[in-house]
Structure 1
Amino acid sequence: MTDTDPRQMNGGYQLDLFGAEPEPAPVAGPAPDLDSVDLYILNLSGGKDGLRAAALALEHARASKAEERVYTVHASLGPLEWPGARANGTYYPGSSELAALHSRALGVPPERHIEVRRTRELEGHRVPYDLLTFIAERGDWPWLGKARWCTGDWKTALIYGAFTSLVRFWKKKLDRPVVCANVLGIRADESRDRKNRPALRTTTDNSARIVHEWSPAHHLSTQAVKNWTDQRNLPHQWCYDSLPGAGDWQGSSRCSCSLCVLASERDLLLGVRRRPRLAELYAHVERVRGVPFNPNTSMAALIERAGLPGAPDPGIVIEDEGPEFDALKNAVDAALRKPPKRRRYVPRSGPVLPLCADCPEESEQ
C-alpha cells in the first residue's frame, strides 16, 4: 500500500477477490432463501471476519442474480475505533476507511456503501455523539453478562435506522414486509457465546421488515480467514500486525474498539501501549465514576501493567492529536462534571474503585 489517501484508491483488489472462486464457496449450516431476500446488508467493520462473511454472502447473491440488492454498511465508533496510522512513509487506513475499501474490493458501487455514526444536537448543531461520552454520562460500562448496549444501541440500531427509508420504499412497492439478510462476520472460533449463537436466526418479524441475521463465515477458523485474506492480497487492519505493514498477524487478535471491554488481556495491554492518551481518558472516567472499565480489572491497572517488562511491544504509538480526539475529550470532561444518570453497578467479586473527592454526587436514578 502506498502513501495515498485510501479514499482515492481504485478498485484493483476486486480481481484477486473473486478470480480464484468462480463458483460460490460452500457455506456450512443454514442460509436464508436467497431468492426471497429483498435487501442484503453486509456489515463491514474494517476487520477480517466481516470481509470474509460479506464475500461469501455476495457470491451467493450474485448466483441468485440479486447483486443490485446488496449494500454494505459500517457503524463507526469514531475515535474509539482504530484510526489510520503512518509508518515508514506509508499510510495505513483506519477502520472506517478500510470498510469503504473492503466494500469497493467486493465490487459494491460506492453509492451503496453506507457509513453511520451516532450524533446528537448540541447548541443548535448536529455533532458526533461518542460511546465514551455516553459511558461518562451514564456512569457505567457495557459488560458481558450484564448489558452490551455498546453493540445494540451503537451499531445494530443505527444500521436498522439507516435502512428505514429504503425499507419503506420497498414495502410500498412490494405491498408486503421487506425481507432483509443482515450479514455479520461472527465466527464460532471467537468465543463460547458466538459458538452457541446460530449461524442463521430471525431477529425481526413485523409488518415493515423481516430480518434474517446470517453469519456465513460462522464455521471458518481464524487461520482460514487470515489465509483467505492473504491469498487474495487484500488489505487488513494494521492493528492485526506487530507494526503497520508487517503482515504478520502478530498484533491485536480482533479489530473492534481500540480498548474493548470484551478484549483479551494481551489485546488490552497492546491497545493501552498503542493509544496511551485514549487509555488515560478511559482511566479518567473510571476515577470520576468509581466504576472499573472491566469487572475483572481496571484501566488504571492495565496502564500500570503495560509499563512493566513483558508487556507486548506496541510497534507504533498513536499520538491521538487533532480536532476529533479533542472534541471527544471535551465532551467526556463536560459529562463528568454532572452526576451520573445511573446507579453504579459493580459485581461483588469485581474491583470497587473509590469515587474521587471532587466528583459529582451519585444520582439515585
Structure 2
Amino acid sequence: MNSITTITPGLVPDLADYDIICGNLSGGADSRAMQHALMEAAEAAGVADRVWTFHASLGPMEWPSVTFGGRRYASVAELAAQQSSESGVPRERHMERTKMRDDGAGGLEPYDLLTYVALYGRFMRLGTRYCTKGFKEQLEESSHTPEIQRLRPVLGRPVRVLKVLGLRGEESRDRSRRLSYRTVKSNSARHVDEWLPVKEWSKERVRSLHAEQAYEWHWCYDSEPGALDWLGSSRCSCSSCFLASRRDSLLGARRRPRIAEAIALVEEVRGDTFRPDVSMADLIALSRRPGAPAPGVVIEDEGPEFARMMEKLVWALEQEPRRLPELSVSAPPRRLLPVVDL
C-alpha cells in the first residue's frame, strides 16, 4: 500500500478525478459539516452528480427517535437521510445498510452489535475496533459493488472511489495524526481514497455552521430534546460507545438504562468490561449518584427491535465465545469509582 498513491497528486483531492464520491453520514454534527464542505467542493468541480451518501445502521445501539414535549425528534438514521437530501443528493443515491446474518431458516436477519460482542466474547478496544471494520467499513464497500460492476467495463480501468468522512483532528490523538487525504484500498476493480475535509475544523466552527445554515442537529447533543443548547452528549456515535468520554458514558447509561443493563449482562457473563478503565455496571451506579449529568429524557426501549436484540443476546450468551487468542483479556471490572470522577 505504501507504493500506491492517491489519484490526485498532493494533499487535497480533485473531485473531478473520481467516479464515485461518497459522504459517510452518521447523523452527527461533524458529518453534516463534512457533507456541507463536500457538496461545496463537488459543485465547484461540476461533479455533484457523482456524489452518494452512506449510513451504516447499528440498529438498537444507535440513538433512536424520541417523542418529547409533544414533538417527535429523529433518530440518527433518519437524520442522516435528511442530511443527504437537504444537501441535494437524490434519494436513490443515499444508501443505508445494516449488517445481516443467516437466520437459520434460509433467510437473513439484522445482526446487532451487542449480540456480536456477546458471541465474540470481548468488547471493542482501540486495537480491535471490529464495530468500525465489520459493521461500517465492510458494509460501505459492499454497497458500492453494484455501481462498480456497472462502471468497470465502461471505464476499462479500476473505478475511482473517494470515501469522505467527517472526522476532526481535535477529537483524539489518533484522528489528529490521520492523513487528511490517503489511499485505503487499491485492486483491479476499485481504487479507494479517503478524504477528511473538516479535519482541521473546531467544534465551535461546526456549531456555527449549524446556526448559520439552520441545520438541524440530533437531539442527543442537547440537555433535553428541543433545548438547542449543546449541553447533552458531546458526540453522536452509539448511545453507549467504549470511546466516549466519562460524562457521555454516564449520560448514555441514564438516557438508555435498558441498553446499559444489557451491556452489564454481557460483562457479567463474559468477564470483560465495556471500557478498559471502568465497567458498565460501575457506570450505571455512578450515573445514579448526585452530581451525575441529568438525562433530560429517558428512553423506554420497548419496541420490537429491542425485544429481538434481547432475545438474540440471551441466546448468544449461552454459546461458547470465540475468545480469539490474539485478543488480550481486559482487566477485571473495577470497584466503584469515587464521585469526584464524574
Question: TM-score of the superposition, structure 1-length normalised?
Answer: 0.86
Tell me by how many angstroms 1:34 deviates: 1.7
CA distance in 2, matches of 1:31, 1:238: 33
Pick from 40, 54, 68 the counterpart of residue 35 of structure 2: 54
Given residue 351 of structure 1, which amino acid in structure 2 is its aligned partner?
A: A
Q: Is the 8 A contact 1:139 1:344 kept in 2?
A: no
Deviation at 1:353, TM superposition (A): 4.7
Q: Determine which of 34, 38, 55 is the counterpart of 2:15.
A: 34
Q: Look up the match of 1:227.
A: 208
Describe the SS at the equivalent of 1:216. coil
Distance (whole Å) between structure 1 residues aligned to residue 194 and residue 147 of structure 2: 18
**What is residue 133 of structure 1 aligned with on the other side?**
115
Q: Give the alignment's TM-score, normalised by structure 2.
A: 0.92
Aligned with residue 88 of structure 1, among 69, 76, 79 = 69
Distance 1:38 1:205 in 2: 14
Q: Quick check: 1:291–1:346 contact (8 Å CA) kept in 2?
A: no
Deviation at 1:165, TM superposition (A): 1.1
Structure 2 Cα separation of the partners of residues 120 and 70 of structure 1: 29
Whether contact under 8 Å (2:258, 2:300) holds in the other structure is yes
Counterpart amino acid of 1:101? Q
Distance in 1, matches of 2:213 and 2:292, equals 33
TM alignment of 1:195-210, pairs within 5 A: 195-210=176-191
**Are positions 1:182 and 2:163 aligned together?**
yes
Aligned residues of 1:291 and 1:345 also touching (Cα < 8 A): no
Deviation, structure 1 residue 196: 0.5
1:157-176 to structure 2, matched below 5 A, reads 157-176=138-157
Q: Distance in 2 between matches of 1:248 and 1:77?
A: 26
The gaps in structure 1 that reach 5 residues or longer are 1-28, 355-365
Work out the CA distance in 1 between the residues paired with 2:194 and 2:152: 19
Q: Aligned equivalents of 1:149 and 1:63: distance in 2?
A: 36
Matched, 1:248 2:229: yes
Task: After TM superposition, give the deviation of residue 124 of structure 1 in Å.
Answer: 2.4
Partner residue, 2:252: 271
Residue 347 (structure 1) shift? 6.2
- In 2, distance between residues paired with 1:34 and 1:167? 17
Q: Distance in 2 between matches of 1:165 and 1:276?
A: 40
8 Å contact from structure 2 (residues 19, 50) kept in 1: yes
- What are the ranges of 5 or more consecutive residues in structure 2 without an aligned counterpart? 1-9, 335-342
2:340 equivalent in structure 1:
none
Letter in 1 for 2:332: V
Q: Give distance in 1, aligned partners of 2:148 and 2:327.
A: 41
Q: Work out which of the residue numbers 151, 157, 161 in structure 1 matches 2:132.
A: 151
SS in 2 for 1:142: coil
Structure 1 counterpart SS, 2:192 = strand
Answer whether contact 2:37 2:197 (CA < 8 A) is retained: yes
The separation in 1 between residues aligned to 2:139 and 2:166, in whole angstroms, is 17
Q: Aligned pair 1:73/2:54, yes or no? A: yes
Shift of 1:33: 2.1
Aligned Cα root-mean-square deviation (Å)? 1.5
Whether the 8 Å contact between 2:19 and 2:160 is mirrored in structure 1 is: yes
Q: Letter of the aligned partner of 1:237 in structure 2? A: H
Equivalent of 1:101, from 51, 61, 82?
A: 82
SS at match of 1:218: coil
Does the 8 Å contact 1:295/1:347 carry over to 2?
no
Evaluate the alpha carbon distance shift between residue 345 and residue 253 of structure 1 in structure 2; reply closer, same or farther with a 3 A threshold.
farther
3-state secondary structure, aligned to 1:225? helix
8 Å contact kept, 1:100–1:113: yes
* Number of equivalenced pairs: 324
Aligned to 2:96: 115
Q: Which amino acid aligns with 1:352?
A: P
Q: Does 1:215 align with 2:196?
A: yes
SS state of the match for residue 180, structure 1? strand
